[in-house]
Amino acid sequence: MAPFSSKWTLLFGVSLLVVVLDQVTKALVTAFIPLNGAIPVIQGFFSIVHIQNPGGAFGFLSAGYSGIKRVFFLAGTLFAAVLLLVLFRRLPRQYVFLRAGMALIVGGAAGNFMDRVRYGSVVDFLDFYWGALHWPAFNVADSAVTAGAGIFLFHLIFKKVPG
């Protein structure tokens, strides 16, 4: 078996695609929408906004900001990425869907990690709401992490994932 097998190609390909989509969409938002600005797309339901989120996915721990919180998020991301890579390496070849889910998580984590290193916060821009009720704004990276985690949970619940 070649040292760079198709399982690693899947990981790097999916992760790279997520990072590119994430960074391009964030660059477009920051270039065309002022900070805290909004463009309504579907009135009363969806807007594209420009928010800087110093917290985690979907605004988790976003209240206040400190250097300790930044270190926590950067270290947590690195730890999770290493853990996922170890699990990914041990995962049998037949779990392609699960490996793709893990690649989504790695790509999403990498996209938000890049923002945290460069800016100390993450650009969020997808804003869904109903009247005054808003889901926390999010981005492509958050979406990838959520989809990947959903795939991971699906396998834990319905498939027999090796331990």
Say which of 22, 115, 127, 142 is annotated catalytic.
142
Q: Which of 22, 115, 124, 127 is catalytic?
A: 124
Q: Dihedrals φ, ψ of 16, to 5°? A: -65, -40
Task: Report how far residue 71's alpha carbon sits from residue 50's, in angstroms, rounded to the nearest whole number.
Answer: 24
**Residue 35: HSE in the Cβ half-sphere, 13 Å Cα cutoff:** 5
Distances in whole angstroms, Cα of residue 78 to Cα of each of 109, 111, 146: 9, 12, 18
Q: How far is CA 124 from CA 9, 19, 48, 151, in A?
A: 29, 14, 9, 23
Yes or no: say if 53 and 62 are a contact pair by the CB < 8 Å rule. yes
22 is catalytic: no
Q: Confirm whether 124 is a catalytic residue.
A: yes
Residues with a catalytic annotation lie at 124, 142
